[in-house]
Amino acid sequence: MTGYRRQLYRDDAVVLRVQKLGESDRIITLLTRRHGRLRAVARGVRRTTSKFGARLEPFGHVDVQLAGDPKGNTGSSLHSVSQVEGIDLYGKRFLGDYPRYTAASAIAETAERLTPVEREPSLRLFQLTLGALKSLARGEHATTLVLDAYLLRGMALAGWAPALTACAVCGTPGRHRAFSVPAGGAVCPDCRPPGAAHPAPATVELMSALTTGDWVLADATDTGVRRECSGLVAAHLQWHLERALRSLPLVDRGNPAPGGGAQDVSRERAE
Ligand SMILES: [Zn+2]
């Protein structure tokens, strides 16, 4: 077999991003179940007869038929969408709901950043992303809890989850009171670097609960604990990403000022 052959293949996927390409075409960024993250051209989505348009909106779970080389060995990296069926178009449910829309945007952007290499399968990240959007759509838990659980578990998949049950530096087990993003999470008194934060014990418990899926504990927390948790999670995530996430500061967390959450955690608690 020589030369470039376009093959047709099917997969199900989450639509992470939709970008304009000329008047009527779109470039769709998909996180697929079996083929990792990839970008594909959808032609003619603006035409009124197109069935693509509504199905290829951000945050939808879709079944797609793609044309291109699924292994990516040959020249063009851009695939094209030849068919698409909606499985569950979650994006529709976030329209007009700013907190959920911005949380979904942060989830989609994070999924893209956690898959730097195209077409590298990551079934667990796919399942995590789909599960988070499904949970947001159902409104089972507070929006910020769903987002922070997603970010914590995504970081765990990437190998940089914050240490919560042992010192990030020396490994001494226990619930340590100090938390340092540069050190990697909770730190014992011996290892605590200058400038470490001292979050409420309930905040670190919430981070653990979100990581392990203890929703009974997470759902019972109050706003202050959730806000402090969000600040620590965001700071930890930003520390590990080369560029800051665009969508995360837009997430409506009920803060008086945008970005206030991350600053709260650097202040010493008066306890
Ligand atoms: Zn230590």
CATH number at residue 221: 1.20.1440.120
Distance (Å) from CA 184 to ligand 1 centroid: 11
Alpha carbon distance 9, 143 (integer Å): 35
Distance (Å) from CA 175 to ligand 1 centroid: 11
Residues 72 and 106 in one domain: no
Distance (Å) from CA 172 to ligand 1 centroid: 6
pLDDT of residue 45: 78
Residues 142 and 246 in one domain: yes
Task: Give the chain's domain count.
Answer: 2
Whose CA is closest to 79, among 119, 116, 117, 115? Answer: 119
Distance (Å) from CA 62 to ligand 1 centroid: 46
pLDDT of residue 13: 98
Distance (Å) from CA 192 to ligand 1 centroid: 7
Full pLDDT tens readout for the chain, 271 residues = 444 567 899 999 999 999 999 888 999 999 999 999 999 999 887 766 667 778 999 999 999 999 987 666 555 668 899 999 999 999 999 988 999 999 999 999 999 999 999 999 999 999 999 999 999 999 999 999 999 999 999 999 999 999 999 999 999 999 999 999 999 999 999 999 999 999 999 999 999 999 999 999 999 999 999 999 999 999 999 999 878 888 888 887 754 443 333 333 333 333 3
Distance (Å) from CA 168 to ligand 1 centroid: 7
pLDDT of residue 196: 95
Distance (Å) from CA 210 to ligand 1 centroid: 23
Distance (Å) from CA 166 to ligand 1 centroid: 8
Distance (Å) from CA 9 to ligand 1 centroid: 50
Give the contacts of 111 (CB within 8 A, at least 6 positions apart).
14, 16, 31, 37, 125, 129, 154
Task: Judge if pTM exceeds 0.85.
Answer: yes
Distance (Å) from CA 89 to ligand 1 centroid: 46
Residues 109 and 188 in one domain: yes
Distance (Å) from CA 176 to ligand 1 centroid: 9
pLDDT of residue 94: 92
Distance (Å) from CA 71 to ligand 1 centroid: 45
Residues 78 and 201 in one domain: no
Residues 83 and 151 in one domain: no
Distance (Å) from CA 170 to ligand 1 centroid: 4
CA dihedral 188, 193, 196, 198 (to 10 degrees): 30
Residues 84 and 125 in one domain: no
Distance (Å) from CA 177 to ligand 1 centroid: 11
Distance (Å) from CA 24 to ligand 1 centroid: 57
DSSP string, 123-136: HHHHHHHHHHHHHH
pLDDT of residue 85: 94
Distance (Å) from CA 240 to ligand 1 centroid: 21
Alpha carbon distance 263, 33 (integer Å): 37
Distance (Å) from CA 27 to ligand 1 centroid: 48
Q: How many CB atoms lie within 10 A of CB 124?
A: 12
pLDDT of residue 69: 74
pLDDT of residue 257: 40
pLDDT of residue 248: 87
pLDDT of residue 266: 36
User: Own/partner pairs for 236-245, CB < 8 Å, 24+ apart?
Assistant: 236/155, 236/160, 236/162, 236/181, 236/185, 237/110, 237/151, 237/155, 238/262, 239/181, 239/182, 240/155, 240/158, 240/160, 241/113, 245/106, 245/109, 245/110, 245/113
Residues 126 and 208 in one domain: yes
Alpha carbon distance 231, 164 (integer Å): 15
Provide the residue range defining the domain that includes 231. 98-268
Residues 124 and 229 in one domain: yes
